[in-house]
Amino acid sequence: MRLESYDQGQWVKCAGPASILTNAINGSFVAEISSQGLDFAEMLDYARRKGGPALRAMTFHQRAIALKELAKYLMERKEEFYALSAATGATRTDSWIDIEGGIGTFFTYSGKGRRELPNEPFYIDGDPEPLSRQGSFVGQHICVPLEGAAVHINAFNFPCWGMLEKLAPTLLAGMPAIIKPASQTAYLTELMFRRMIESEIFPEGSLQLICGSVGNLFDYLTCQDVVTFTGSATTGLKLKQHPAVLSNAVRFTMEADSLNCSILGPDAGPGSAEFDLYVREVAREMTVKAGQKCTAIRRALVPRQYADAVIGALRQQLDRVVVGDPANDAVTMGALASADQRTEVRQRIAALRHAGEQVYGDPDRVDAVDADAELGAFLGPQLLYCHEPLRHTLVHDIEAFGPVSTVMPYDSLDEALALSRQGQGSLVGSLFTGDDDVARDVVFGASAYHGRLVVINRDCAGESTGHGSPLPGLVHGGPGRAGGGEELGGVRSVLRYMQRTALQGSPTTLTKVTGKWLPAAARREDVVHPFRKHFEELEVGDALTTDTRKVTLEDVEHFAHFTGDTFYAHMDEEAARANPFFDGRVAHGYFIVSAAAGLFVDPDPGPVLANYGLDNLRFMQPVYFGDTLKVTLTCKQKTRRENENYGEVRWDTTVTNQHDKVVAQYDLLTMVANANKATRR
């Protein structure tokens, strides 16, 4: 079987010489791979011309719903992916991380897209910036999708998750993608990608696939394109220095394998819960995916007095590991992805031995259950010990990308922090401690060198996702040798595929452009109360100025006794005057909010279904007895809900006193029915 690329809406089987891909368990033939003959300039043009406009015509919510539908489609076919994943050497647990973990990223971004992004094709970034004394000239940042293509170059270790964790924010942002999987495991990527195309959920041109080399694709990159790369630092740096990337300032995100560390706190001695948790986590990170994880623990930093105990406990844990064919339920660790990968790991272990001794395992011998250890790419867990890690720099420079870790002792917490920095930038570090002071010292001593830090103790361990699990809502990346880039991180990653632009103009003009009412923009008042208007009838800028209400002593005392809020500033004149912010007794802030509602609410049944919250509430001036309140209510922003009979409306609510001074300001959030749907009660 020769893998096919998906090029400009067609599956293409490239001719010419091809590389052979083999089964990691038994060395048998799986597929051939080649991209010879593909026109990469045309692929990029097709993405920009066909996929880009179709995606940009959709809103964030529409793209988010499509992500969910695609995730469901893939999940219904997961067993097909599991069956082929076995050829990569993965156990069922390994495959679960790759397959269902990747699909779960689609589900997560779908939810975030609908909760945290507007139902618009663009994103308003932050609050408006006042630029003039009278407020007639303001600034507002927006983000719009880039008009190029995202080229995703992925690593071999996670053929599904690696593709999906990049695709989720890309598609949600409204940008088409060209996927280039690593050759060793591209057959699994190609199968999942084929199912994605078959689903026809995303518009044609949104997705293309290159099985094989990217050839001269980089020659045709422009300032509107994005490249993401996961793999070796050497290859990543070479691509990052491509003339087109440099001359066109192409956005390039690099995530390289790093020498991640895990620190055992000085308080976490043998017998403590944190000691046991640490040992289990190091052993787990060594053996999950046969150690082929960019986030795996390569350096185990432990107090010198506990080093022997840690090594002994790790030996016991590693003795329980069963290496072999994952088809056997007793097997807990499969093979490396290929024989070439095993050869490379063996060479790295030999180099590491110059800096320390091997205390567990033999890189040249392993017993494999139901498999031939040499025909398959099997390698057992390998544990090394470096007695003087500050002196031996090799252990901080060489990574064996397999089931390999090195124990390194430290004599003080400062020394542990120095060792953590020797990794020259890591994707993730972890700390196991029951001492929160130690946690604080490590967080502020190590964060600058790590993209993520995990602090684990007995209180959180039961629900912890562990050291090596990147999560959709948290950034995945790191400084220095980890690549200096970021992936994931929720909405943060979506915005990396968009252009942030600073708009300047009049508030009324920018309100029209963005669909969000800005202070000092035009307001429209008419005889119809805005709460009597259905969602489609409301326009941003529709407003109401209410009648007034005088605040009395009786109001404040009734509110105090009714609610139980008898704070002295509301009840004790002398104490209130002693407060530097007040000139006497003041009304409750929440009384002001309640009184404001009484002024602007239209009481009869109508389009407004519910008030679901307040945002940005601020009390600007104290309200005294005898003050008169008035409310200005303005439709600030509308968010249409896909497939629902209502929309969400944000109202700018400003409460002023008899001197036209603002005493309170907030955003009121309501759900408003559509005109053509029955109002639900």
- Residues 227, 333 within the same domain: no
- Residues 286, 188 within the same domain: no
> Domain residues for 97?
5-256+492-499
- Residues 249, 334 within the same domain: no
Q: What is the mean predicted confidence (pLDDT) over 39-63?
A: 97
Return the closest-CA partner of residue 637 out of 660, 666, 667, 595.
Answer: 667
- Residues 312, 450 within the same domain: yes
Phi and psi at 612, nearest 5°, equal -110, 15
Q: What is the mean predicted confidence (pLDDT) over 61-72?
A: 97
Looking at residue 623, what is its pLDDT? 95
- Residues 147, 221 within the same domain: yes
On whether the CB atoms of residues 475 and 303 are closer than 8 A, the answer is: no
Instruction: Report the distance separating Cα 592 and Cα 547, nearest Å.
Output: 14
Q: What percent of the chain has pLDDT over 90?
A: 92
In a domain, 195, yes or no: yes
Looking at residue 233, what is its pLDDT? 85
The runs of H, that is alpha helices, within 359-435 are 413-421
- Residues 336, 272 within the same domain: yes
Write down the catalytic residue from 255, 274, 285, 648: 255
pLDDT in tens, 613-628: 999 999 999 999 999 9
Q: Which of 449, 465, 481 lies at the terminal end of a domain, its last residue?
A: 465
Q: pLDDT-derived band of residue 679, with 50, 70 and 90 as boundaries?
A: very low
In a domain, 518, yes or no: no
Return the closest-CA partner of residue 242 out of 164, 145, 151, 148.
Answer: 151
- Residues 216, 320 within the same domain: no
Looking at residue 678, what is its pLDDT? 46
pLDDT at residue 288 greater than cutoff 90: yes
In a domain, 506, yes or no: no
| Most confident stretch, 430-434, 516-520, 604-608 | 430-434
| CATH code (residue 48) | 3.40.605.10
In a domain, 513, yes or no: no
- Residues 227, 361 within the same domain: no
Q: pLDDT-derived band of residue 44, with 50, 70 and 90 as boundaries?
A: very high
Is residue 255 flagged as an active site residue?
A: yes
More confident residue, 238 or 676: 238
- Residues 176, 251 within the same domain: yes
Instruction: Report the distance separating Cα 433 and Cα 84, nearest Å.
Output: 40
In a domain, 470, yes or no: no
Write down the catalytic residue from 160, 211, 294, 386: 294
Looking at residue 17, what is its pLDDT? 86
Tokens 């490239």 belong to 14
pLDDT at residue 504 greater than cutoff 60: yes
In a domain, 124, yes or no: yes
Q: pLDDT-derived band of residue 643, with 50, 70 and 90 as boundaries?
A: confident
- Residues 195, 311 within the same domain: no
Instruction: Report the distance separating Cα 250 and Cα 310, nearest Å.
Output: 46
Q: What is the mean predicted confidence (pLDDT) over 519-544?
A: 93
In a domain, 510, yes or no: no
Q: How many domains does the chain have?
A: 3
On whether the CB atoms of residues 375 and 414 are closer than 8 A, the answer is: no
Looking at residue 232, what is its pLDDT? 86
Looking at residue 681, what is its pLDDT? 32
pLDDT in tens, 202-216: 999 999 999 999 999
pLDDT at residue 141 greater than cutoff 70: yes
| CATH code (residue 593) | 3.10.129.10
Looking at residue 680, what is its pLDDT? 40
Length, in residues, of the chain: 681
Q: What percent of the chain has pLDDT over 70?
A: 99
- Helical axes 78-85 vs 186-199, angle rounded to 10°: 170
pLDDT in tens, 363-421: 999 999 999 988 999 999 999 999 999 999 899 999 999 999 999 999 999 999 999 99
Tell me the CA end-to-end span of the chain in Å, nearest whole number: 60
**What's the chain's average pLDDT?**
94
What does the buried/exposed string (b/e) look like for 229-261 if buried means 16 or more CB atoms within 10 Å of the residue's CB? bbbebeebeebbebebbeeeebbbbbbbbbbbb
Q: What is the mean predicted confidence (pLDDT) over 519-542?
A: 93
In a domain, 103, yes or no: yes
- Which of the 8 DSSP states describes residue 49? I
Neighbouring CB atoms inside 10 A of 155's CB total: 24
Instruction: Report the distance separating Cα 62 and Cα 206, nearest Å.
Output: 14
| CATH code (residue 455) | 3.40.309.10
Is residue 261 flagged as an active site residue?
A: no
- Residues 240, 269 within the same domain: no
- Residues 249, 355 within the same domain: no
Instruction: Report residue 583 as tokens.
Output: 């000139």
